[in-house]
Amino acid sequence: MRPRAKSADAERIQPSYKEESLRSYELMYMLDPGLDEDSSKALVGRIEDLMTKQGVEIQSTEPWGKRRLAYSIKGHWEGNYVLSQLKASSHAISEMERRLRVTDGVLRFLTVRIDEEQAKLERRREREAAKEKARRERRGVRPPRAPEDRDDYQGLRDDEMIAGEEMDR
């Protein structure tokens, strides 16, 4: 039996992971506390090598050190935490997570996409600012000026300025 030739449509339907956009992620993983410092650094290096081979751009890696856990994980009450900031495609992240699951010395990990959260936060701030502006316009109240723009600003809070004025009298 001859293998069928791929049609042009079949090639277009299949996703190309290389063309997929890179998104920002945070990866928090917990290492076995029984590992000494050199072994922990070597394991973090191995994990970073795995990530770069998958096409993940590592922006920063920050070891948090040993922390006490709220409950026992695989018989351990402590874990060595490491936080990494990444840029990667979703395919690369899923492959990285698959490999982390089978890596000895990694107790737990959590990957969070942060660009979506940042966009949500910005949209929320914009909505709240627009609501505040509309509310002020309805009431006829001027928008607040920055404290630095005021003539009487001396680096004091409003209540301190009032208290100071009362004391001068």
Model confidence over 117-154: pLDDT tens digits?
A: 777 888 899 999 999 988 888 887 766 666 665 555 55
Pair 61, 83: CB distance under 8 Å: yes
Residue pLDDT, tens place only, 49-105: 989 998 899 999 999 989 998 988 888 899 999 999 999 998 999 999 999 999 889
C-alpha–C-alpha distance, residues 85 and 38, integer Å: 22
Question: CB neighbours of 35 closer than 8 A, spacing ≥ 6?
Answer: 43, 80, 105
- Looking at residue 116, its pLDDT comes to 73
Q: Where are the alpha helices (DSSP H) in the chain?
A: 8-13, 37-53, 90-102, 114-139, 158-168
- Looking at residue 12, its pLDDT comes to 47
Domains of the chain: 19-169 (3.30.70.60)
Structure tokens at 101: 């699951």
Structure tokens at 146: 């920055």
> In this structure, what DSSP letter does residue 55 have?
T
Selection from 85, 40, 101, 43 nearest residue 65 by Cα:
40
pTM of the model: 0.58
- Higher pLDDT among residues 169 and 52, named by residue: 52
Q: What is the largest CA-CA distance in the chain?
A: 103
